[in-house]
Chain A
Amino acid sequence: METVPIVAPETNKETHVFNAKINNNALEGNVSLTYSGESRASFLYVFNNLRTEMKNEALEYYLKRADRNMMVDNIETSDLENRDDQLSIDFNLKQDNAVSSFDDEIYINLDYYQEYGKWLFNERNTDYEFAHKEYLSSEINLELPEGYKVTELPKGIDVNTKTYKIFVDFELTDNVLHYKKVFVMKDAVVKKSNFEEWNETIKSLQSIYNQQIILVKD
């Protein structure tokens, strides 16, 4: 008898990189996504179940999340039929209504996806199992407009337990704001005994997601 090998979360790695600029009320720029392992399988499952005549629009539809504020074009992908290699998708994104200006200040809702932001286990009584050992790395690099500076960078999070890691960091180098997040579900499960600790982390995460990035004139 053989045992099924244990898979490390890195095998399922999903990465997002968005290099953005401000354009009036929108965040605009290039997005690069990669999917490996289980994250690739999840993506392909959803994608393949969309009707063919929608396929041309399907990817666009999927990337937009049916949100009127998301406009995508110039989509390039690796071979979507190939189930073995890493899957990559590149496209231009315009995220409308992500930026508001009031008087001389600019307010930016930087994070559209806000991953894990709704995962408070308040009423739950049993362990929570993820679909697989998730590993997500997300970067949003925002080029600040000339003549503006960031008033205050939100505080990050750095939690690393036996079962999960949640890391959020803001860094300003030259004129670019680097917003980085890493989520690793090492065990694909959050045990009930860890709920309290987990909930505290998620609350800190929500508090970050709830904040706007504020730019003022230099």
Chain B
Amino acid sequence: MIKKILGITFFALLSITATAQSKKTLEKQQEIKNLVWNDNDPYRNVMDIPENWNNESAVFIVKSIKYIYNRPGNSIEYTKIERDRIKLLDQAAVAEYSELKYTEGNVFYREMSRVTNTFFLGVKVIKPNGEEIEIDVNQESVSNNDEKKIAIPSLEKGDIIDYYFYTNTIVGENDLYQYKPVENTIGDTYPIIKFDFLLETEDDFFINFNTYNGAPKLQQIVEPTKKDKKRVYSFKAENVERNDFPRWFFPLVELPSYKFQGLFARSGKYEKKAYAFIPEDVNIVKTNVSKEEIFNLYEDKFRPYGDLGDVERFLKKKNFTTNEEKVKEVFYYIRHAYYTNYVEAFVMDESNIMYPFELYGKNPIIFNNEVDFVRFFTAFLKDNKIDYEIIIGTQRYNGDIKDLLMESNISFILKVNTEKPVYIEYFDPYATPNQISPLLENTNAYTLKVVDRKHIENIETVKLPTSTYKENNSTEKTEMTITPDFSGISINRSFTYNGQTKIDEQKNLLMYYDYVYEDHAKYETEPILDRVRNKKDQEKYKKEYAALLKKLKDEQQEKIKERTAGEYNLKIENYSFKILKNGRFGKEDSFEYKEEFTMGNDLIKTAGKNYILDIGKMLGSQVDLSNKEKGRTNNIYMNYPRSFNYQIMVNIPDGYSVSGIENLTSSVENETGGFTSKASIEGNKLVIDIQKFYIHNYEPNANWQKMVAFLEAASQFTQSKVLLKKE
């Protein structure tokens, strides 16, 4: 998690791997081929597609996914076989599949455990006359990070491509092992005639599985017997329409989909140790995690625990008027002491300037997960006799909490019951009390009621608060000065961000060095290089670090410049920016920065002795809906309610006046949001004030046209022009 905040980019490695095949591998390859493409394959001769899909780009004749869990000897084995047979109907689909892209499935690692990963693929092309051409999969593949590609030559419209991906992982002797969860929609970007899902498992594998949003339910097709404990489950779907994945949408909430997770536990003892939401009996497929189950599992999970030495030292020198204030201050202290305090160390290590970790002495406290953090923070609360609850939520794109299936879909929030409640979530450099993830806002959740500040006694349902569009605000002021010869424009812009918008922008724009040193100063901790005892070493490292910092700062400036240029879709020059205020200490603490740059005459057009100024373009890119999007039938899921205030000020060139400011007036407001603009002449300045806002984070499809109305008004505004008239 810490590594995410570093701005160092790693370039993708492009490599060509010639695969030398051993005899054994070739034999195995053949074995897998016979597993998939054999005489029992019901699709081996299917070539037709329904007429109503003749105008599609391509159609899946079959999409089949198979998971197999078994135990060869003492190991545990996982196999996934995905098989697709697709008829390609147009040139675009042919171009898409002329390079078959794939990743070699999940690679499971576990410390001190032997793991064997195997991957095979098979591809054949079937011509309209039935001729089958098998592609040599042992040819060179090109890889880019995890993704590989092989060429499929001579594909034409009307061909069928039939391929499978076989992934196998064997983990050595193991008592307990949890596989990664799988969450997918059934549909794909092309329609599917037949969708087949199959799961086969031996004893000791616990399965959580469910389907959603009208997808067919899982059926058990093979029951275990005394002799053979194997179980087989499946579900099938037919004539699945293509999925459009529009903007502002959470597919798993509305589209037919399936989710599952497997867990291996060798015996009863290990089942308990699993400490996970698994079925009570291995032969039952668990379809849901209920409120009661969460209570039972988490009753003991959050015992307050942590070494509060640092916190106590911090509190000693302080006085607080309210507990609320105390809680917030301790949170910020911990955010530094156990997070931002370490950041430079990771930078030093990754850039190989020096090995930093021994400079932190003893055992630095690091929170590896949310639970560790909650336990530590509640230890502080208990010590200071402050009451709290632990909220269990699930992010909006997962669906409602009552449909919870897997622990990985759970998020925790601490609700501290001070005079006014303080909500605290797991931290990153920008975490702020009372600012919870927008993906948890306005959701149904469960709360674990805590008694005596340590015993979890009960669980209730609760609704999480939501932020407002006024709180989540972006305010921009732009000042434009046209050069006397009208060959260009110089621009100053200032930005102020608040609320959820602030957090997004901090993540987009700030680098660790923009705030780490301010934290060090505030909490009187040492920047890491100051800890280096040897003076000569320290000097050497500081020099190298200074060079690295300069490089990072140049990259940061370039990135922000490109973002601005992208907003206007114009070339800009002479760019510089400055962070004025980081805004990391409280919801009311705004993030502010400013920038300056020049542009050419792209927005100025000669009109005889006058000039036309494309002033609307200074609003930047607005959501521009295609006809298809305007006819959207899905509900609308946005990150958070938000508002944007813009002020554009143009210094009117000497000897000119402005005509056409009535073109700059616009007003569309309704229950979903709005766009308003007005303009006036103040002295020698043209001043335009604009507001755009989205009132909710969710709108039902019935309200879509209301949103379209103000989005169109905003888009139309970008076309506004004024005349600079020579007097």
Contact = CB atoms under 8 A, between A and B. Distances in A.
Interface string B581-608: 0000000000000000000010001111
A152 B715 CA distance: 33
A169 interface: no
Interface string B659-688: 110010000000000000000000000000
Interface in B51-72: 55-57
Question: Number of contact residues on A: which range applies?
Answer: 20 to 34
A199 B297 CA distance: 75
A68 B624 contact: yes
A11 interface: no
A107 B56 contact: no
B607 A107 contact: yes
Contacts of A51: 57, 90, 92-93
A85 interface: no
A211 interface: yes
A53 B55 contact: yes
B333 to A, nearest CB: 51
Given A102-B660, A151-B608, A107 B90 contact: no
A163 B25 CA distance: 61
B33 interface: no
B719 interface: yes
A134 B345 CA distance: 60
Interface string A42-61: 00000011111111010000
A52 B56 contact: yes
A105 B660 CA distance: 11
Contacts of A194: none
Interface residues of B, number: 28
Contacts of B725: 102
A57 B55 CA distance: 12
A100 interface: yes
Contacts of B451: none
Contacts of A210: 601, 605-606
A214 interface: yes
B85 interface: no
B723 interface: yes
B606 A55 contact: no
Interface string A20-61: 000000000000000000000000000011111111010000
A96 interface: yes
B715 A68 contact: yes
A210 B602 CA distance: 9
A109 interface: yes
Interface string B313-335: 00000000000000000000000
Interface string A103-122: 10101010000000000000
Contacts of A103: 659, 723
B89 interface: yes
A69 B712 CA distance: 12
Contacts of B55: 52-53, 55
B721 interface: yes
Contacts of A49: 91-92, 95
B480 interface: no
Interface of B: 55-57, 89-93, 95, 242, 601, 605-608, 612, 624, 627-628, 659-660, 663, 715, 719, 721-723, 725
Interface of A: 48-55, 57, 68-69, 96-97, 100, 102-103, 105, 107, 109, 151-152, 210-212, 214
Given A103-B659, A212-B606, 9 more contacts: A48-B91, A52-B56, A52-B93, A53-B55, A57-B627, A96-B719, A102-B660, A105-B723, A210-B605
